Structures are given as C-alpha cells and as structure tokens.
Structure 1
Amino acid sequence: MASGAVHQSAHSSFSGQPLHLPRSRWAPRRLNSQMSSLSIMMVKPKIQFIKGSDELTIPDVRLTKSRDGTNGMAIFRFDQPSVFDSSSEVGGITGFYMIDEEGLSTESLQGLKQST
C-alpha cells in the first residue's frame, strides 16, 4: 500500500498573518490511484486605485455570470477603502489595478461610488 504526506508547514505574508499548517498524518492511498503531490503556493495579491499606492482594505467580492456563460462580472465592495484617505495626498483614482503572481491586470472602473 502506498502512502504520502503533506508539507508540514508554510508561511504566508498575506495581511501580515503567518499561516501555519499542522504536520499531516500519513494517509493511505488507494492502490489504483495515481501518485500526486501537493504544491502550496501563496502570494500577496495587491489592489491599487492609484498606481504605487496599495489599497489596505480587503474587499468583499461577488461574482456574477450570464445565463449563457458568455459574460461575467466581479463586484468588489470595500468597507471604508483607504484610497479616499490618501487620494488628496497622491492624486485621484486612475484605475483599478490588480497585481498578483501573474503580474499586473488593469481593468476599467464602472460604477465607482463612495457610500456614506
């Protein structure tokens, strides 16, 4: 009978909180299953409304999809975004920039409003 283990710990800098994974127990695998491995990859994605100024608030994200599956939309809702605090110092909002392990993704902003 073959067996395998999961990496005992990993650290993540997301929101400054380290992530500790407990040491796994050896788990038996089925005889006919293919050998697989676990890769843990963690990055700290960033959102910027002004290039070079990271948004500190983590948004609530809602995904929608059309019935035929050809269109979709992601709605990001920020509770008290920090961009409104710093925009007077570094300039106005210039776009919506998402930076992750794949690089920079720039999207147009639609329906940006500050709730009171």
Structure 2
Amino acid sequence: MLPLQWNWKIMVNDIKSETLRELKESLETFLGDRLLRMILFGSIARGDYTGESDIDVAIIIRGLTRELKHQILDRVAEVELNHLMPVSALLLSEEEFNRLKKREHRIALDIEGEGIPL
C-alpha cells in the first residue's frame, strides 16, 4: 500500500496541472499574441508547496490596460472556481516586467530565477 502523503501529492499535482493547463488555454484564446509569457513561480515552482499553497503565476502581457486586467482576472477567477484551486496571478505589462528586472526587484528575480515557463 502506498503512503497517504504520496497519494495526496499526486492528487494535488494533477489538480494544479489541470488548473494551469486550463488557465493557459483560456488566456491564449482570449489574448492571442498579446500574451507574451506565463511563468509559474513560488512554492510550486520550487517544489516546497503544501496543501494550502496557491498557484503563483506571472502573466506578461503586451498592451496591458486596466480594463484588460479586469477581463483577465475574470478568466482567472473562472478557472479557480472550476478547479477549486486558488491562483495568484501577477499581471504585468512587458515594460513593467522589464523595469522590475532592471531594478533587480525581488519579485522579478524570483520569477526569473525559479520560474517555470508555461
């Protein structure tokens, strides 16, 4: 018999993988070529997540506006509800992300250093 923790990790991995797949498909369909990058970061990318961990994903978008942010966050919320999995989406324009990297801001360093492109 497999240990309970092992089964739990596989189940969580499946849910998180399916959540990320659906999120990526939804945003690719909605944004098209405005979606520049999606990067998984945080505890899941590092492999030190727990059952309470959310999915941290940086979404880099060309031509990001306030209205577009709201529309993207609506899609993120829909995916969260479909899978009952919290997603922490960091929405950044290409310029914002480059500025954060240039200033060596901690979040940009984490995304670049530990991030997994989706």
> TM-score if structure 2 supplies the norm length?
0.32
Larger Rg: 1
Structure having the higher helix fraction is 2
**Structure 1 length as normaliser, TM-score?**
0.32
Q: Relative contact order: is structure 1 or structure 2 higher (C-alpha 8 Å, sep ≥ 6)?
A: 2
